[in-house]
Structure 1
């Protein structure tokens, strides 16, 4: 949790550094490599497994939210912030792998069909400074008042989507005491995992909160939502810097979840 993206002004540079610090250790990017899939961690959660054929990564890309789909949010690929493959994300407890993958848009189950992007809250501050000399403490504080949500879609054959959901549910229980993560060579520590209410709108959902160690400077809490609709699984992970600076949990925006689920069959 130590990478920085840099930025035009020191205020936005600080935001970039913190955003990567929070996201990198517990997330990943999209991948088309089938061998990156999670292992089967149990039997189907239900007997109503969809018989539909899995969508391809290209088909999933078309189902992702596009610019203008959610009022007040900018849509971006998110590729610059996240590891590219499951191979780049390793935990010290295999049961926790689906949690680490879900936080960054990777498929939590065994599939090579995956697509992801990000939505950033689009705030338009008035009177923004135009030079470093004009940056005030208030400008720096306001720069942290943003949230960014990473959205991942993955598709499965047979009852694969239900098995993916069970892997996440089992992982929440198995990893309640925390786990270590290495992403792109950076080490991070999740100190606690707890189940939260799952998002509405799908056939099945699992929500979980993770407390993340901030390099010895306390912890920050982030929420992840994993929702199955048919044989497609959608994952949502939010870094909310307004919540972080106020000591609150970073919750996934319901508007983003509902807009994305509405695009799935």
Structure 2
């Protein structure tokens, strides 16, 4: 069970998803008090938009829907992800933005947040054969979060993530859902180049003495909206192989943002 909490980096019952072999989505996530409004994005080339932040309801309509990405299944309503930032604690304040982004929560200071999940759709081709049942676990699931900000809040959110990647390179402690996990290292990754700026990073998570699992996250800003993408493959948790954030999912989601 502890392994699942480490894998989700903020989810409290990912094991239920694995045991049922069903792909479900993330719950709507409201955010509480946010810290770390400083940090650095990759390449901010435009000034902060003057538009007001969108509401959570408006963000829900901008999330990817079924049929938006060919070969992927979109789902929502999963109650296993934390609903607020108060449910995700780190032992280093500068690492908060990383943990929040990974949990589908807003990495910056805002109350406007929405999330869901997008997974490879293998169910359509699966049969009752044992090999197909095993293969059903070998699915890349991406948790997508959207958040919106007033003024230059979105740029500050990206900066918080970028600064966190550097400040937390040596790892940090994470508490969520009454369980503790240890992120052993954080490393900068290659962003997709989508949106106005993006930050990508990988995190190594201790699997309770059974090795380290590596997970990829990308955070993209388009205007005053920030999209977070965190991908996990339950079948490869013990292999040390990281599941890549699908480019098709990132591109399709950013294309829907205003």
> TM-score per shorter chain, which class?
0.7 to 0.9
Give the equivalent residue in structure 2 for 1:68. 67
Q: How many angstroms apart in 1 are the aligned matches of 2:126 and 2:219?
A: 36
Give the equivalent residue in structure 2 for 1:53. 52
Deviations 1:185-242 (A, max 9, x none): 1111110100001122210110000011111100111110000000000000000245
Give the equivalent residue in structure 2 for 1:32. 30
Structure 1 residue runs without a partner (length 5+):
20-27, 130-135
TM-score by length of 1: 0.83
Q: Does the CA contact (< 8 Å) of 1:103 and 1:236 recur in 2?
A: yes
Give the equivalent residue in structure 2 for 1:260. 253
In the alignment, structure 1 residue 196 sits paired with structure 2 residue 189: yes
**1:123–1:53 Cα change, 3 Å:** same
1:64-103 equivalent positions in 2, closer than 5 A: 64-77=63-76, 79-103=78-102
Report the RMSD for the aligned CA atoms in angstroms: 2.5
Deviations 1:164-185 (A, max 9, x none): 0110001000100001111111
**1:181–1:199 Cα change, 3 Å:** same
Give the equivalent residue in structure 1 for 2:19. 13
Q: How many angstroms apart in 1 are the aligned matches of 2:143 and 2:251?
A: 14
Q: How many angstroms apart in 2 are the aligned matches of 1:171 and 1:4?
A: 25
**1:168–1:6 Cα change, 3 Å:** closer
Deviations 1:144-180 (A, max 9, x none): 2111100000000111000001100010001000011
Give the equivalent residue in structure 1 for 2:140. 147
Q: How many angstroms apart in 2 are the aligned matches of 1:197 and 1:110?
A: 25
Bigger Cα Rg: 1
Q: How many angstroms apart in 1 are the aligned matches of 2:208 and 2:192?
A: 30
Give the equivalent residue in structure 1 for 2:10. none
1:99-248 equivalent positions in 2, closer than 5 A: 99-124=98-123, 125-128=125-128, 136=130, 138=131, 141-241=134-234, 243-244=236-237, 246-248=239-241
Q: How many angstroms apart in 2 are the aligned matches of 1:82 and 1:200?
A: 27
Structure 2 residue runs without a partner (length 5+):
5-12
Q: Does the CA contact (< 8 Å) of 2:204 and 2:213 recur in 1?
A: yes
Give the equivalent residue in structure 2 for 1:133. none
Give the equivalent residue in structure 2 for 1:41. 38
**1:224–1:49 Cα change, 3 Å:** same
Q: How many angstroms apart in 2 are the aligned matches of 1:200 and 1:32?
A: 27
**1:143–1:43 Cα change, 3 Å:** closer
Q: How many angstroms apart in 2 are the aligned matches of 1:78 and 1:173?
A: 33
Q: How many angstroms apart in 1 are the aligned matches of 2:58 and 2:14?
A: 33
Following superposition, the deviation at residue 14 of structure 1 comes to 7.8
Q: How many angstroms apart in 1 are the aligned matches of 2:204 and 2:237?
A: 11
Q: How many angstroms apart in 1 are the aligned matches of 2:151 and 2:45?
A: 12
Following superposition, the deviation at residue 15 of structure 1 comes to 5.7
